[in-house]
Structure 1
Amino acid sequence: MYRFLLTPRWWGINVFVILAIPFCIFMGSWQLGRFEDRVQTHEDASTRAASNRQEAPRPLAELLPVDQATVGKRTTARGRYDKQLLVPDRTLDDRTGFYVLTLLRTDGGRALPVVRGWLPGAPDPAKAPAPPAGEVTVTGSLQAAETPGENGASARSGWPAGQTGVISAASLVNLVPYDVYDASVTLDRGDAGMRAVPVSEPQNTGLDLKAFQNLGYTAEWFAFVGFVVFMWFRLLRREAELARDAELGLLPADEAAETAAAGAAAEKEPAREPAGAAD
């Protein structure tokens, strides 16, 4: 009844199944590993964030350039506040407001963007407290330059005067006539009664959509394994039923002839003599 398994058609089906199953298992295991790596990175970032809050602040020069090892660490810098900007569309506790961003001119001449705090509502220069005069020392958490779409940063251009959508040197270089550090500092405590801005996690360290996409792909690849096995058994059962019906004469004439031809081909296949055997 199962002589049809020796036909070329079924040889192709069997080879496909033998190759597809380990490939799907490998891809599912790889996606699961990616998800586990993201979970571990998230846990490491949370542990590092807690450790950063306990560390003493270090001079800014020791923590530059900003990377995943230094982002979030507490730093200190000294200088004079200069130009002040508002960063709109920033959410805190499900409320929309804006950051008050003031550039700190350091002794080296470059400016450090300092997020002094958050205020609710639409950005209004009259609501933003003026920065302290004279030389000041700021202490806060070091942040990497933002990219559009990150932490609420807006890719929109053409902001009103005195506003910016992204906190980065690339966006600020056109607003001030001096060099700007490609990093920023969020103060430990909000200045002049403003709310302090929480420290954002480094990129690719959270359990974000990409992490759960990896988990979803894992389920899909393992589901493919089950689908391939299910379809193989289904085809096998259907072919066996056709072969049995052909033996009992229950098939229409055309299907019976086709099934008989396939069976005959399978019987002849192993009986072929190798070339030159008659010699």
Structure 2
Amino acid sequence: MTSLLRRLVAATLVALVLVGAAGALGWWQLEAWQARRAAEARDLTSAEPVPLTSVMGADDPFPGGDVGRPVTVSGTWLPEGSFLVPRSDAGRDGYWAVTPLALGAADAAVLVVRGWAPTTEVPAPSGAGEVTGWLQPPEGSGTAVDEDPSDDVLPELRVADAVQRVDTDLYSAYVVADAAGTGLEPASLASLPEAGRFTALRNLLYAIEWWVFGGFAAFIWWRWVRDTRAEAAADAVTDSPA
């Protein structure tokens, strides 16, 4: 009996170490998963503004980790490329007023949401312009239809539609100005970053894997204890005098 007890205690200690280690490693991977998702979905809206050209180039795809980042742009307004995008504000129907701003150094322009208006009577700016605002990815669900291509109202803020209105390349982004233009109200920020569905998925799978391993170790310990005790009980019955 003493030998059996020692074996049970030793097996239990080993099982506790294995289960504890698996649980700790799984928790570590879970925290890594949460940290990476939080880092991707960080709110940059209150960060210090930086030049747009330091965040992305004219031919670069939109940097997903910079949604909502404050940027500064300066150049020349392209009033002929101005258009409106239907957008409600606090339950009111209205429009975003959008005008391309040509950045001479980049030989390209970026779309700037100058503000919100309740009507389509919005004058376009001209001359030099300097804007501080929040960087946003271009829209484009692919389902919106422009019911009247002859007017200056576009259903979405799509770069592919806007580029047809100007004779220069456009950044694959737009900027929501933090200060509304003349005769406009401030436009609300369109979106903030969200962690992708598969962000740090490997860490989450590792966490599950470690916990499964811990559960398997606990199961093996339970089976071994059950079989060992059953074997000892059978030996005791065999060794007992008739």
Shift of 1:195: 2.7
**TM-score between the two structures when normalised by the length of structure 1:** 0.53
Q: Distance in 2 between matches of 1:243 and 1:32?
A: 43
Q: CA RMSD in A?
A: 4.8
Match of residue 83 from structure 1 = 81
Match of residue 170 from structure 2 = 181
Match of residue 236 from structure 1 = 224
SS at 1:82 equivalent: helix
- Alignment partner of 1:131 out of 115, 123, 128: 123
Aligned residues of 2:33 and 2:201 also touching (Cα < 8 A)? no
- Change in 2 beyond 3 A, CA 1:248/1:61: closer
Match of residue 72 from structure 1 = 70
Q: Distance in 1 between matches of 2:125 and 2:92?
A: 30
- Change in 2 beyond 3 A, CA 1:49/1:176: same
Q: What's the % identity of the aligned pairs?
A: 15
Letter in 1 for 2:235: E
SS at 1:140 equivalent: strand
Q: Distance in 2 between matches of 1:35 and 1:233?
A: 32
Match of residue 51 from structure 1 = 48
Shift of 1:214: 8.3
SS at 1:49 equivalent: coil
Q: Distance in 2 between matches of 1:217 and 1:190?
A: 46
From the CA coordinates, give the structure whose radius of gyration is larger. Answer: 1
- Change in 2 beyond 3 A, CA 1:30/1:38: same
1:140 aligns with 2:140: no
1:100 aligns with 2:97: yes
Match of residue 195 from structure 1 = 186
Match of residue 257 from structure 1 = none
Match of residue 154 from structure 1 = 141
SS at 2:179 equivalent: coil
Equivalent pairs counted in the alignment come to 213
Aligned residues of 2:29 and 2:207 also touching (Cα < 8 A)? no
Match of residue 28 from structure 2 = 29
- Alpha-carbon displacement from aligned partner over 1:100-140 (angstroms, at most 9, x marks no partner): 323345668744311122457xxxxxx23423354252412
Q: Distance in 1 between matches of 2:190 and 2:72?
A: 10
- Change in 2 beyond 3 A, CA 1:226/1:86: farther
Aligned residues of 2:29 and 2:204 also touching (Cα < 8 A)? no
Aligned residues of 1:115 and 1:185 also touching (Cα < 8 A)? yes
**TM-score between the two structures when normalised by the length of structure 2:** 0.59
Q: Distance in 1 between matches of 2:133 and 2:125?
A: 22
Q: Gapped runs of 5+ residues in structure 1?
A: 4-13, 121-126, 251-279
Shift of 1:207: 6.3
Aligned residues of 1:82 and 1:105 also touching (Cα < 8 A)? no
- Change in 2 beyond 3 A, CA 1:220/1:72: same
Aligned residues of 2:85 and 2:157 also touching (Cα < 8 A)? yes
Aligned residues of 2:73 and 2:132 also touching (Cα < 8 A)? yes
Letter in 2 for 1:178: D
Match of residue 277 from structure 1 = none
- Alpha-carbon displacement from aligned partner over 1:204-236 (angstroms, at most 9, x marks no partner): xx5676679789767645543542233123222
Letter in 2 for 1:156: T
